[in-house]
Structure 1
Amino acid sequence: MALIRRFIELHGQGSIHRSETDAGWANVPYGEENLLYIGTYGSAERKSGPKPSQAIHLDRERAAELIRILKRVFPGIEHDAS
């Protein structure tokens, strides 16, 4: 598990994964703050079955930064009803 310290824009380094997974999230108390926990699960095709794989935490500042990134990548997302 890791607390995201900062986001760094990568140019030309993204790739598309061929599998899909589920992700869980939770509001985690952290002192007088909250953290957003996001955890992904291994592929359903795994021999041992799906199990927790990767996990990150976002504090308020990183969450705000992620919102800005999402709005940049997906213009108009705040008006998307889905």
Structure 2
Amino acid sequence: MAKLRRFIKGDIDAKAPRTEVDGYFTEVHANDGTLLLYLYNFSKAGPKPGATPTQSLHFDRESATAFKKVLEDTFGPL
């Protein structure tokens, strides 16, 4: 788990995914009261009782704004 600090354009030769998973989100409050958006997913098999997420990220308002810019730079206005 990590709170995103900033976005840096990478240069990895990434490939398109071969599978799809459902994405989940919820609001979380940090110890200092900061509102965070928590995004997570489980493996292709989906959530099972007691399972922990396969991947997760926390966005605060600043990182969410930065990510919106990345999305709009990539896909156009949202």
Q: Give the TM interval when normalised to the shorter protein.
A: 0.7 to 0.9
1:1-82 mapped onto 2 (5 Å cutoff): 1-11=1-11, 13-30=13-30, 31-44=32-45, 50-51=46-47, 52-77=53-78
1:22-55 superposed Cα distances (whole Å, 9 cap, x missing partner)? 11001111223200100011012xxxxx232111
Runs of at least 5 residues in structure 2 that lack an aligned partner in the other structure: 48-52
Amino acid at match of 1:72: D
TM-score normalized by structure 1? 0.77
Runs of at least 5 residues in structure 1 that lack an aligned partner in the other structure: 45-49, 78-82
1 CA distance for matches of 2:42 and 2:34?
Answer: 26
Sequence identity, in percent? 32
2 CA distance for matches of 1:12 and 1:4?
Answer: 19
Partner of 1:80: none
Q: CA RMSD in A?
A: 1.4
TM-score normalized by structure 2? 0.80
Tell which structure's C-alpha radius of gyration is larger. Answer: 1
Structure 1 or 2: larger strand share? 1
Moved over 4 A (4+): none
